């Protein structure tokens, strides 16, 4: 035990904008890869383009209305609210107080939310009915 | 050149967050209650229309559940905090300077940008609504005080559709507008000042604006003089870019039910220390004293009243939860008295100083390096996996004294198991 304990300022992490080394300096051989190292791939980076506007939703366990689009019960939806809900895009919408995922079809003034499973009905939005689009489904994460 | 400062705030923020993920709440009277499920802290417009005031205890309005379908929810701060962070990030893109004022309000300084103010305000409003689903109001003026007033006008006068900029009115129209608003609506004029101003015959914003600043400075304070200058278009208050380091950190909560045993108080106090210490470490500070206080319910006249606090100085400043916890328990033991029904307890960490500058006790065998590593590891794990992943046994596991949150909505944006579902 030493009587005097020097206080080293460097014990406490100082936030630096750039790392001094991109990885720990190995004790063994100098790796030829060191100067060329990239960051490992991160799925979130690829799938989430607008983090402030991106939300994750889950498909209900009994919801088969969009199987034709590759969306199955229990799947994870990456919903990007910053994308424009264009005709032909799969969107999450609010109908009668419930969130639903369907493909959006706009034909002139007529708006239809189409299911992609023959067993399910399309929802056509009548005049005066309120449709709230909550976002465009950018990606679906499905465990096969 | 006059400044262009906007105040943007979320409408009925907590309720709005809930509605984004639960559209069944739209167009219904909804209130969010404070953590003890005591008082109303957010109301939908439909709830406001029923006459439900801010801050009322829920039991006073629960009859509306049956008569009007009033829905109540516990506060879901994980959700509100995340939605707020998104909103603030989106808003930050609209101006070179931003001051986040509260969980749902932010000032933006876009002085010098060549934009039509109302159009800019509409762009801001539209983007926040699209990206997050939260409706906001935007008020724009040459000073923070004027921006706040503009925001109030945007909110209360529907013809402006949520965006009001003073420069959209002519000088005479501005005067007329100011003449129609009560002086109490001005930022910084609370009930007492309002009453004092009334005795001087100042009842509208216009009358305050036209008051002699020198006279008002003598009668009231330099703050009043500054307010008048701001009402006249001179920006005196800068935007605070970075939150200043706190000089003391407090953590306290009311109990969900009354607590009588020392054991339960110890758990509560330790919980508060855990949280306060984590916050303190986040700002790179250590503290040299810990204050603990306990009190009975002052609103229950029948209960025997007791309220004590004690300050426990540390021999060496510390940021180690274990040391602070030990000091707090020591203090608690000295002020606890059996036979009282405690309603609230809390801790305050004072004497904050930069942790890097702390000098150890000459004879201490305390291993600061190990302490730093341990605290650092705990903070990191909690940062990744959630606030209470690693905690301290002394803080209790079941915590029966904790605040009631039995009607909290799922943490839609911060917990994989609690995502909103779609059909």
Cα–Cα distance, B315 to B136 (Å, whole number): 50
The CB density around residue B180, as the number of other CB atoms within 10 Å, is 12
Q: What pLDDT score does B315 carry?
A: 83
Q: What pLDDT score does B30 carry?
A: 97
Nearest to B422 among A9, A82, A100 (CB): A100
Contact A97 B423 (CB under 8 A): no
Compute CA distances A47 → A56, A78, B130, B133, whole Å: 11, 8, 19, 21
Nearest-neighbour CA in chain B from A32: distance (Å): 32
Q: Note whether B242 contacts A: Cβ–Cβ < 8 A.
A: no
Contacts of B71 in chain A (CB under 8 A): none
Question: Which are the contacts of A24, defined by CB distance < 8 A and separation ≥ 6?
Answer: none
Task: Look at residue B332 and tell me whether its pLDDT is greater than 50.
Answer: yes
Greater confidence, B107 or A36?
Answer: B107
Q: Across chain B, what does the average pLDDT equal?
A: 88
Cα–Cα distance, B141 to B150 (Å, whole number): 7
Q: What pLDDT score does B370 carry?
A: 77
Most confidently modeled of A128-132, B20-24, B99-103? B20-24
Q: Note whether B316 contacts A: Cβ–Cβ < 8 A.
A: no
A102 is catalytic: yes
Q: What pLDDT score does A15 carry?
A: 43
Q: pLDDT digit string (tens) for B227-279? A: 999 999 988 887 775 556 677 898 888 887 788 899 999 989 998 999 899 88
Q: What pLDDT score does A3 carry?
A: 41
Q: What pLDDT score does A25 carry?
A: 52
State the SS3 of chain A.
CCCCCCCCHHHCCCCCCCCCCCCCCCCCCCCCCHHHCCCCCCHHHHHCCCHHHEEEEEECCCCCCCHHHCCCCCCEEEEECCCCCCCCCEEEEEECCEEEEEEEEEECCEEEEECCCCCCCCEEECCCCCCEEEEEEEEEECCC
Q: What pLDDT score does A8 carry?
A: 40
Nearest to A5 among B26, B368, B420 (CB): B368
A63 is catalytic: yes
Average pLDDT over residues B56-75: 91
Contact B422 A60 (CB under 8 A): yes
Average pLDDT over residues B405-414: 85
Whether ipTM > 0.85 holds is no
> Quick check: pTM over 0.95?
no
* Helix (H) or strand (E) segment spanning residue B128: helix B117-132
Q: DSSP assignment of B8-47, as one string?
A: EEETTHHHHHHHHH-GGGTTS-EEEE-TTS-BEEEE-HHH
* pLDDT band of B43, cuts 50, 70, 90: very high
Cα–Cα distance, B168 to B58 (Å, whole number): 41
Q: What pLDDT score does B388 carry?
A: 65
- Single out the residue of A31, A20, A144, A13 nearest to residue B356, CA to CA: A13
* pLDDT band of B379, cuts 50, 70, 90: confident
Q: What pLDDT score does B202 carry?
A: 94
- The residue annotated as part of the active site, out of A61, A63, A65, A124, is A63
User: Look-up: residue for tokens 């005049």?
Assistant: A127
Contact A12 B284 (CB under 8 A): yes
Cα–Cα distance, A60 to B423 (Å, whole number): 5
Q: What is the DSSP letter of B204?
A: B
């Amino acid at each position: 035990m030493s009587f005097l304990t020097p206080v080293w300022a460097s014990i406490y992490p100082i936030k630096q904008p750039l790392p001094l080394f991109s990885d720990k300096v190995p004790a063994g051989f100098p790796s030829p890869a060191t100067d060329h190292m990239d960051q490992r791939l991160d799925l979130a980076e690829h799938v989430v383009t607008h983090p402030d506007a991106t939300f994750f939703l889950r498909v209900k366990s009994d919801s088969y209305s969009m199987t034709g689009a590759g969306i199955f019960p229990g799947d994870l939806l990456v919903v990007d609210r910053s994308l424009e809900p264009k005709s032909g895009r799969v969107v999450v919408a609010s109908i009668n107080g419930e969130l639903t995922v369907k493909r959006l079809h706009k034909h002139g003034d007529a708006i239809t939310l189409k299911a992609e499973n023959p067993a399910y009905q399309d929802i056509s939005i009548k005049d005066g009915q309120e449709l709230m689009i909550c976002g465009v489904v950018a990606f679906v994460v499905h465990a096969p | 050149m006059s400044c262009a400062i906007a105040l943007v705030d979320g409408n009925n923020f907590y309720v709005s967050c809930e509605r984004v993920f639960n559209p069944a709440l739209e167009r219904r009277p909804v209130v969010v209650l404070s953590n003890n499920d005591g008082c109303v802290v957010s109301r939908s417009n439909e709830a406001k229309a029923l006459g439900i005031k801010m801050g009322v205890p829920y039991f006073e309005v629960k009859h509306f559940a049956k008569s009007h379908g009033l829905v109540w929810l516990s506060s879901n701060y994980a959700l509100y905090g995340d939605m707020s962070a998104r909103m603030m990030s989106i808003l930050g893109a609209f101006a070179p300077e931003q001051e986040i004022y509260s969980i749902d309000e932010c000032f933006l300084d876009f002085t010098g940008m060549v934009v039509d103010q109302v159009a800019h305000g509409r762009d801001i409003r539209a983007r926040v609504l699209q990206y997050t689903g939260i409706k906001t109001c935007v008020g724009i003026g040459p000073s923070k005080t004027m921006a706040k007033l503009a925001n109030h006008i945007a909110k209360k006068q529907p013809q402006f559709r949520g965006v009001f900029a003073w420069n959209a009115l002519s000088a005479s129209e501005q005067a007329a507008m100011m003449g129609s608003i009560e002086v109490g609506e001005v930022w910084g004029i609370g009930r007492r000042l309002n009453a004092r101003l009334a005795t001087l015959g100042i009842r509208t914003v216009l009358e305050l604006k036209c008051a002699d600043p020198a006279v008002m400075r003598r009668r009231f304070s330099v703050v009043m003089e500054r307010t008048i200058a701001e009402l006249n278009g001179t920006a005196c208050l800068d935007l605070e870019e970075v939150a200043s380091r706190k000089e003391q950190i407090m953590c306290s909560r009311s109990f969900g039910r009354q607590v009588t045993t020392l054991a339960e108080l110890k758990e509560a106090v330790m919980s508060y220390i855990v949280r306060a210490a984590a916050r303190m470490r986040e700002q790179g500070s250590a503290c040299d004293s810990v204050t603990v206080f306990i009190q009975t319910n002052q609103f229950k006249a029948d209960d025997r009243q007791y309220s004590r606090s004690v300050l426990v100085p540390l021999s060496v400043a510390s940021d180690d939860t274990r040391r602070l916890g030990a000091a707090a328990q020591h203090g608690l033991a000295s002020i606890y008295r059996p036979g009282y029904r405690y309603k609230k307890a809390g801790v305050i960490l004072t004497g904050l100083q930069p942790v890097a500058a702390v000098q150890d006790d000459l004879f201490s065998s305390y291993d600061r390096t190990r302490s730093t590593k341990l605290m650092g590891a705990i903070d990191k794990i909690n940062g990744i996996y959630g606030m209470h992943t690693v905690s301290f046994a002394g803080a209790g596991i079941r915590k029966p004294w904790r605040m009631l949150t039995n009607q909290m909505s799922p943490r839609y944006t911060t917990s994989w198991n609690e995502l909103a579902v779609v059909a």
